[in-house]
């Protein structure tokens, strides 16, 4: 049975598509792709239909991740039923998900960095208003959490 994982940030153009692309690629490289389905969405609809931020795509490409096929979308009610794991990039978006999520599905909601093993951060910072170093740091956090996520879910 495939495990469905949804990554969520605010606009779905920086952090959550990075998490989707990195986790998908790591799963493919480890021969685990058939075990998973990955997607990403935003709690807000600011960027629906847009590709990930150019800086996110460039930083990801520099590490061998291709985000070019991804398009921003907003979380919808069906996502709470469809996905087994809904992972927010920060507490604010986790709270927005909790407010929108039907009670029986709330156990699916977590912070993505709960799966990280090498960092003490709890939230993936939003790099949107900063420079390229912010996007690189997001990748550091995401690679670590994605590795932990795959290790955890592949055991189940």
101 is catalytic: no
Number of domains in the chain: 1
Note if 24 is an active site residue. Answer: no
- Domain that includes residue 22, residue range: 3-155
**CA-to-CA distance for 111 and 128, rounded, in angstroms?**
19
| CATH at residue 72 | 3.40.50.2300
Q: Give the whole-angstrom CA distance, residue 106 versus residue 116.
A: 21
Q: Tens digits of per-residue pLDDT, 23-78?
A: 999 999 999 999 999 999 999 999 999 999 999 999 999 999 999 999 999 999 99
CA dist 156 and 152 (Å) reads 7
Question: Considering the chain, what is the average pLDDT of its residues?
Answer: 97
Alpha-carbon Rg for the chain, nearest whole angstrom, is 14
126 in active site:
yes
């Amino acid at each position: 049975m495939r495990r469905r994982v949804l990554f969520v940030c605010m606009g779905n153009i920086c952090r959550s598509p990075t998490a989707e692309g990195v986790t998908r690629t790591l799963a493919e490289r480890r021969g685990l792709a058939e075990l998973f389905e990955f997607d990403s969405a935003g709690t807000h609809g600011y960027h629906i239909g847009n590709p990930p931020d150019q800086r996110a795509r460039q930083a990801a490409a520099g590490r061998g991740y291709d985000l070019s096929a991804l398009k921003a979308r907003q979380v919808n009610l069906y996502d709470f039923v469809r996905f087994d794991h809904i992972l927010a990039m920060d507490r604010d978006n986790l709270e927005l998900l909790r407010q929108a999520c039907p009670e029986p599905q709330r156990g699916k909601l977590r912070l993505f960095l709960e799966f990280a093993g090498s960092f003490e951060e709890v939230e993936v910072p939003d790099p949107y208003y900063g420079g390229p170093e912010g996007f690189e740091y997001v990748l550091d956090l995401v690679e670590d959490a994605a590795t932990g996520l795959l290790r955890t879910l592949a055991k189940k």
